[in-house]
Amino acid sequence: MSPLTIPSLTTDRLVLRPFTPDDAAALHHLAAAPGVMQYFPTPEPPDLARVERLITRQSAEWEERGYAWWAVTLPASDTLLGWCGLQYLPDTDETEVGYLLGREYWGHGYATEAARASVAFGFEHFDFVEIIGITHPENVASQNVLKKCGMRFTAATRYFNMDCYRFAVKRADWPDARASN
């Protein structure tokens, strides 16, 4: 799937669009800020080459699966806030909603808005029985994002070789879950 065929999503305040190679420097800058990566499996900020590979990998995921991560932007300026979208977890045969926003964009509801749009896209375009969210046990802000997406805590478990909390929303619960949160 080329960038021209990857859908963009528009929410009240955001545009989720395909990544371009030009996004690498801005995403690298966002991820390098102190604390942004602290709850990820690899908490060290990525170097620019790793960010470039991540962007390239997203294009491959869109091609292979029909879903992946979007660049999260502000519509008026195309300012990159971070990324959000769906990813396939081959070890557990699940689909996860994930997100990363630059520190200056925390606390504004952007992660919730982007994650809700991503979950809606997943249920509207694929036959997923459920979509999950995974957080570090100490990442209360991310847990709140998942709850606002209608997800419920299902287990304390391990993903990506680290202790995690697993949240999930079932397709059958999605319309009601979305409306009530």
Question: pLDDT by residue (tens digit) across 60-116?
Answer: 999 999 999 999 999 999 999 999 999 999 999 999 999 999 999 999 999 999 999
Residue 120: the pLDDT is 96
Q: Count of alpha carbons within 13 Å of 73, Cβ hemisphere only?
A: 20
CB 10 within 8 Å of CB 75: yes
pLDDT higher than threshold 60 for residue 4: no
Q: Is residue 41 part of a domain?
A: yes
- Choice between 91 and 37, residue whose per-residue pLDDT is larger: 91
**Residue 57 structural domain:** 9-128
Question: What domain count does the chain have?
Answer: 1
Residue 46 has what pLDDT? 85
CATH of the domain at 66: 3.40.630.30
pTM value is 0.92
Percent of the residues in the chain that have a pLDDT greater than 90, as a whole number:
82
pLDDT band at 5 (very low <50, low <70, confident <90, very high): confident
Question: Are 165 and 130 a contacting pair, CB within 8 Å?
Answer: no
* Structural domain contains residue 136: no
Tokens of 65: 């699966």
Residue 158, in any domain of the structure: no
Q: Is 154 exposed, middle or buried (0-12, 13-18, 19+ CB in 10 A)?
A: middle
Residue 92 lies in a domain: yes
Residue 91 within any structural domain of the chain:
yes
φ/ψ of 136, rounded to 5, equals: -65, 140
What pLDDT score does 42 carry? 79
Average pLDDT, the chain: 92
Instruction: Give the whole-angstrom CA distance, residue 180 versus residue 158.
Output: 29
